[in-house]
Structure 1
Amino acid sequence: MSRSPARTAATALAATALLIPLLAACGDDEEKKDSGAQDSAKLTVLAAASLTDVFGTVKSAYEDAHPGTTLTFSFAGSQELAAQVRQGAPADAIVTADTRTMDGLKADTGTPSVIARNRLVIATREGNPDKVDGLKDLADPKLKVVLAAPEVPVGRYSRQVLDAQKIDVEPVSEEPNVRAVLSKVELGEADAGIVYKTDAETATDKVDAITVPDDQNAIAQYPAAVIKGGKNVAAAQTFVEWLSTPAAQKILQDAGFQKP
């Protein structure tokens, strides 16, 4: 039985009408795929050890504002994080505690942006039983002082301020990150150590923080960047950019970090 020309034309028009949305949807899917955009993403972020506490709050705030995105943080000394990136560790973004370490990763990351700053303090045992008053007291040979290793940002900053004041300190140990320095003092294995202000504030019931004057201090900068070749480049870029928003900045500054 043959179909009439009018019926055939109507059928063709209907089929075309159904096909156009499907083609458009396919085009949208391809565009999302090409741009790296995703409805959901699992991001792995390598972060400096001094961000351990505040990034717990960052995780909650970011995931609430970006449903479907899950953040997983891996904390370590910045030099360890850099080594992981160079070795191809599966991660999407990195935040270091100094620009020097980040600058060494130019071939592996996107353009970094500084999201916060920090400053040094002297952490002593609770109650400051050794009466540490400033950097000069750390030269006392009777005092057990612990510092981060020279390749660690806080260790480099520590030696920078000590050298500027011509203070010679012989540490009883050199630790792989700032949290390890703080832990030594908390446990009573050291009398004093140089840490970031924000780290000392996480242990106010176990250590005292002795202020280092501005003219003797060093300011740490925290750059964040996307790692090239990650599985979620677009989502990682969104997270890195979010760290500079008012919402993220409030979290960081409430934790004691300074403005970028």
Structure 2
Amino acid sequence: MTPSMRRTRRTHRTLRVAGAGAAALLALTACSSSGSGSHSGSAGSGSSSSKPSGDVTVFAAASLKESFTTLGKEFEKQHPGAKVTLSFGGSDSLAAGITGGAPADVFASASPKTMKIVTDGGDNATAPVTFVRNQLEIATLPGNPDHVASLKDLTRSGLKVVLCDRTVPCGAAAQKALAAGGLKLTPVSYEQDVKAALNKVVLKEADAAVVYRTDVKAAGGKVQGVDFPESAEAVNDYPITLLKNSNNPGAAKAFIAFVRSDEGQKVLSEAGFRRP
């Protein structure tokens, strides 16, 4: 074999090795890209390209029960792979549960003060945003047999009035409204959330209760609402936040976005909430 022939064979061998190496590199790159895409599209990964799916646990103020139940069902309908689990109660109790380690993805509070319990540490939640507002109203028995026409009327002797506990947003708002009117009121009971206060009137265990307009509306003909001007001094902002220990941040963010969307705001407005 001549030197020229040996050089030609070495050149061909070198080209074959280089070609094989390039092919292997391309294959490795393709696998890496494919693996990355599969991860970002997994359920609850938080990727903006993934569709919301999996379980989303929402802790929400009692006054949001009807509207959030509707929103949860609609969210599930629009995202067949998602399941929304709702837990309602007094905002302070929910906040205490979250700081105590209760598993949840989203927290919707009836006041910034109770939201602050969760956000103060900095480890429990992302920055909250106000999504609706709510205003107080007096709930009386149907037909308003005691002729309650003002907040001052609730101070009449013999009238059985129920308030929310001072530690929950509806109770704090009621105290603020009473202070604005220069009034003092001793209720027959303080209730742990707004639904419990309203229920006292529904069951005819009380003559009146200071609750939210949304709760009076949700009760339908079971109670009658009475507006009072002092309520304008005690409007509650409702903040919502993604909890940092969420097991499904992608779907949780999508639920919050849905609540704040035009469609979500329509449901909330129909329930009697005000836009922020």
Whichever of the two has the greater Rg, that structure is: 2
Q: State the match for 1:70 in structure 2.
A: 83
Matches of 2:161 and 2:132, distance apart in 1: 28
Matching of residue 200 in structure 1 with residue 213 in structure 2:
no
Q: How far does the alpha carbon of each residue in 1:176-221 deviate from its partner, in whole angstroms, 9 at most, with x for none?
A: 0000000000000000000000000111211100011267542111
Q: For 2:201, which of 157, 165, 185 is the aligned residue?
A: 185
Shift of 1:64: 2.4
Verify the 8 A CA contact 1:162 1:168 in the aligned structure 2: yes
RMSD (Å), alpha carbons: 2.4
Matching of residue 104 in structure 1 with residue 117 in structure 2:
yes
Matches of residues 76-155 of structure 1 in structure 2 within 5 Å? 76-106=89-119, 107=122, 108-155=124-171
Moved more, 239-248 or 45-54: 239-248
Q: Give aligned-pair identity as a percent.
A: 39
Q: For 1:52, which of 65, 81, 84 is the aligned residue?
A: 65
Matches of 1:204 and 1:247, distance apart in 2: 23
Q: For 1:232, which of 248, 251, 254 is the aligned residue?
A: 248
Letter in 2 for 1:171: P
Verify the 8 A CA contact 1:128 1:208 in the aligned structure 2: yes
Shift of 1:8: 8.9
Matches of 1:30 and 1:45, distance apart in 2: 25
Q: How far does the alpha carbon of each residue in 1:28-81 deviate from its partner, in whole angstroms, 9 at most, with x for none?
A: 234557963365221000000000001111012222233312111100000011
Matches of 1:229 and 1:160, distance apart in 2: 34
Q: State the match for 1:243 in structure 2.
A: 259
Moved more, 104-113 or 71-80: 104-113
Change (3 A) 1:215 1:251: closer
Verify the 8 A CA contact 1:119 1:217 in the aligned structure 2: no
Letter in 1 for 2:220: T
Matches of 2:20 and 2:220, distance apart in 1: 77
| Unmatched runs of 5 consecutive residues or more in structure 1 | none
Q: State the match for 2:190 in structure 1.
A: 174
Q: State the match for 2:33 in structure 1.
A: 24
Number of aligned residues: 257
- Aligned to 1:121, what secondary structure does the other structure show? strand
Verify the 8 A CA contact 1:185 1:192 in the aligned structure 2: yes
Letter in 2 for 1:59: G
Verify the 8 A CA contact 1:165 1:216 in the aligned structure 2: no
Q: What TM-score does the superposition give when structure 2 sets the normalisation length?
A: 0.85
Matches of 2:38 and 2:45, distance apart in 1: 10
- Aligned to 2:221, what secondary structure does the other structure show? coil
Moved more, 183-192 or 37-46: 37-46
Q: State the match for 1:161 in structure 2.
A: 177
Verify the 8 A CA contact 1:120 1:217 in the aligned structure 2: no
